[in-house]
């Protein structure tokens, strides 16, 4: 296939690009480099620096590279920032996809894998989370993705030749197993990289926000899916996508790790001790979130292969240890 990866210079997108190329697909990356890194883009891929909201440029790139399929990762993804700057999130995350869909409609590209999120579920009352649970986001980030899900359903209803898969995923973690690419966010908010930065001496301490949750050790529990497993699911979804498909899948490992468990894993893997301080809960942090991924296993044959926290951390540590300044751009 000729695949356009929107946001292919970002953390997840760059790993997807690598796997697509390894699988024999032709890839063009389109990214505005607002938070992505040109150095993260595999040299085998073509690259177009552009904003998703510039529909004419997106359409031109789709035509030039004869794109028949799109993987869309381009989005802002900081929950707190979305509360402070909701219009930016609706502009980039929601309107950006509308722009892509208009360009796809103009060029005849009919296949889309769209990066959605478990944030569309809000705060579910029971665990594990299944795809049929009510969706009630508690922040603009979640709403910006849920609005796209609705738009995609309406697009299929209007054009049965169009098809999409929207994976909803949980905490994505880890880095490429060969150490070639990794995670480089500024600012960094993901738990594992934050702890690894403490192990590298780049942070004075690691803070635990809340130790009185109704969990075995009192700290929040989350589902961590390795980025390579996640991207493998995207490629499976793309390669099996049919006209008229409108599918949603939870992507996770089906169990959770607590904040304390992640901290102890980092200490084991790195062999470094560092300061840990306990603080108050943050508003809006549910005690436990983890996925039921039975549907994607039944329909696509996918299940996570890297499920032990030490293995997830080890792949990330390899990248952070060898690239302490990230991509250095």
Q: Which candidate, 185, 142, 176, places its Cα nearest to that of 314?
A: 176
Q: For 292-299, what is the mean pLDDT?
A: 98
Give 155's contacts (C-beta < 8 A, 6+ positions apart). Answer: 101, 162, 164
What average pLDDT does the structure give for the chain? 97
What is each CA distance from 140 to 74, 85, 91, 120, 121, in whole angstroms? 16, 9, 11, 10, 12
Under a CB-based contact definition with an 8 Å cutoff, are residues 122 and 142 in contact? yes
b/e map of 285-319 (b: 16 or more CB within 10 Å)? Answer: ebbbbbbbbebbeeebebebebbebeebbbbbbbb
Q: How far apart are the C-alpha atoms of 319 and 329, rounded to whole Å? A: 16
Q: What dihedral angle (degrees, nearest 10) is formed by the CA atoms of 108, 113, 118, 121?
A: 40
Using 50, 70 and 90 to split pLDDT, how confident is the model at 7? very high
Please say if the pLDDT value at position 308 is more than 90.
Answer: yes
Please say if the pLDDT value at position 286 is more than 90.
Answer: no
Q: How far apart are the C-alpha atoms of 236 and 204, rounded to whole Å? A: 41
What is the set of active-site residues?
141
Domains in the chain: ranges and CATH: 2-170+224-251 (3.40.50.720), 191-222+254-322 (3.90.25.10)
Q: For 188-196, what is the mean pLDDT?
A: 96
Residue 285 has a pLDDT of: 86
Q: What is the pLDDT of residues 89-129, one digit of tens each?
A: 999 999 999 999 999 999 999 999 999 999 999 999 899 99
What 8-state DSSP symbol labels residue 40? G
Q: For 57-75, what is the mean pLDDT?
A: 98
Please say if the pLDDT value at position 269 is more than 90.
Answer: yes
Residues of the chain above pLDDT 90, percent: 97
Please say if the pLDDT value at position 68 is more than 90.
Answer: yes
Q: How far apart are the C-alpha atoms of 273 and 268, rounded to whole Å? A: 9
Q: What is the pLDDT of residues 129-185, one digit of tens each?
A: 999 999 999 999 999 999 999 999 999 999 999 999 999 999 999 999 999 999 999
Strand locations in the chain (E): 2-6, 26-31, 46-49, 69-72, 111-114, 116-117, 163-169, 171-173, 206-209, 221-222, 224-226, 246-251, 257-258, 276-279, 288-289
Residue 283 has a pLDDT of: 83
Please say if the pLDDT value at position 329 is more than 80.
Answer: no
Taken in order 54, 55, 60, 63, is the CA torsion positive or negative? positive
Residue 185 has a pLDDT of: 94
């Amino acid at each position: 296939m000729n695949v356009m990866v929107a946001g292919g210079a970002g953390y997840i997108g760059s790993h997807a690009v690598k796997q697509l190329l390894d699988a024999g697909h032709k890839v063009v990356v389109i990214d505005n480099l607002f938070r992505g890194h040109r150095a993260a883009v595999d040299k085998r891929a073509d690259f177009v620096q552009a904003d998703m909201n510039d529909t004419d440029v997106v359409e031109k790139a789709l035509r030039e590279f004869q794109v028949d399929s799109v993987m869309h990762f381009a989005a802002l993804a900081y929950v707190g920032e979305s509360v402070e700057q909701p219009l930016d999130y609706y502009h980039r995350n929601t309107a950006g996809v509308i722009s892509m869909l208009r360009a796809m409609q103009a060029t005849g590209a009919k296949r889309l894998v769209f990066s959605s999120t478990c944030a569309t579920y809000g705060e579910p009352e029971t665990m594990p989370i299944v795809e049929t649970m009510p969706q009630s986001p508690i922040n603009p980030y979640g709403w910006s993705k849920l609005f796209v899900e609705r738009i995609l359903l309406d697009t299929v209803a209007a054009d049965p030749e169009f098809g999409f898969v929207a994976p909803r995923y949980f905490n994505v973690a880890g880095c490429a197993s060969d150490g070639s690419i990794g995670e480089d966010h500024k600012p960094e908010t993901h738990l594992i990289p934050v702890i690894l930065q403490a192990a590298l001496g780049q942070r004075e301490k690691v803070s635990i926000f809340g130790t009185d949750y109704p969990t075995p050790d009192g700290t929040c529990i989350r589902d961590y899916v390795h980025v390579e497993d996640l991207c493998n699911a995207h490629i499976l979804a793309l390669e099996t996508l049919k006209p008229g498909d409108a599918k949603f899948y939870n992507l996770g490992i089906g169990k959770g790790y607590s904040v304390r468990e992640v901290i102890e894993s980092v200490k084991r893997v790195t062999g470094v001790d560092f300061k840990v301080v306990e603080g108050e809960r943050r508003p809006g942090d549910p005690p436990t979130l983890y996925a039921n991924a039975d549907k994607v296993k039944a329909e696509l044959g996918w299940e996570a292969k890297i499920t032990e926290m030490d293995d997830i951390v080890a792949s990330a540590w390899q990248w952070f240890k060898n690239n302490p300044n990230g991509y250095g751009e």
